[in-house]
Amino acid sequence: MWRRLTSLSHLRQIRRADELKICQAFCTDITKPPVEAESHYRRNSPFVAFVLGGPGSGKGTQCLKIAETFGFEHIGAGDLLRKEMYSGSENGDMIQKLMKEGSIAPSEVTVKLIKKAIESAENRKFLIDGFPRSEENRMAYERIVGAEPNFVLFFDCPEEVMVKRVLNRNEGRVDDNEHTVKERLKVYKGTTLPVVNHYAKKGKLYKFLLTDKFMQVDGTGTQEEIFERVVDITDTLQKQVIGIEDVECAVEKYMRM
């Protein structure tokens, strides 16, 4: 209840009469969002978290755990591109060449695949793993999908650990080799980190610094130890964001009166 009322403070510009209606509407003990607001939220506002980090930092591993625990749909941008590559599509050869080089696929191709995956899912909560890779990717997503992510998780892993993991992964990926991993690291540092900085400035970034302080397995913490930290943040953010969305939907409803 308190959160609902305090979240309305930014609406000072609304006419006094409308303000009164909004306050009256929220002065009852609402423990659940109004049915109309809830369905608006589900239908129109997918809840999106981007998951970023270098090659082999553990994005995919943690996404599987988050998806299972919190009921998110896991969309791996690289997985979508690999599927497209092997599907015999007209973009297949181009994607394969870029992946082997460690380069980034054109934004329109990747965003189109992500948008399709979001639109065809029943779920409205998404983890988008390994995207955006560049500021250009980010802007294309925001333009085409028409929204920013709700929050961004960032796995900051030491470079030597990432390289070792990628070279030991053994999943038959065309880019898991010494030459390509060097290129991917260059792209990550030069082109993806600016995206991370962008979301840090916007206050949307949650960084997991994976250093040798855990002294486990490979010096970054076991998958379970890292996940324990991820759970806390994801749980809190989900609750906060859903609360804010409810207020905005309800405000829209009362302003139309």
Ligand X SMILES: O=c1ccn([C@@H]2O[C@H](COP(=O)(O)O)[C@@H](O)[C@H]2O)c(=O)[nH]1
Interface residues with ligand ATP (CB under 6 A) are 53, 55-61, 78, 130, 165-166, 169, 217-218, 220-223, 226
Q: At what angle do helices 107-120 and 135-145 cross, to 10 degrees?
A: 40
Contact between 84 and ligand X (CB under 6 A)? Answer: no
Contact between 250 and ligand X (CB under 6 A)? Answer: no
Q: Which stretch binds Mg ion (CB under 5 A): 52-60, 80-88, 114-122, 171-179?
A: 52-60
Contact 156, 55 (CB under 8 A): no
The owner of tokens 């930092």 is 57
Greatest alpha-carbon span in the chain: 66
The mark string for 147-176 relative to ligand X (x by CB under 6 A, - otherwise) is ----------------------------x-
By CB under 6 A, the residues from 174 to 203 that bind ligand X are 175, 184
Query: How far is the C-alpha of 131 from the C-alpha of 195, rounded, in Å?
Result: 10
What single letter denotes the amino acid at residue 50? F
Contact between 60 and Mg ion (CB under 5 A)? Answer: yes
| Residue 229, φ and ψ in degrees, nearest 5 | -75, -35
Contact 47, 125 (CB under 8 A): yes
Residue 110 touches which of ligand X, ligand ATP, Mg ion, none (CB < 5 to 8 A by kind)?
ligand X
Q: How far is the CB of 39 from ligand ATP (least distance, A)?
A: 34
Nearer to ligand X, 40 or 165 (CB): 165
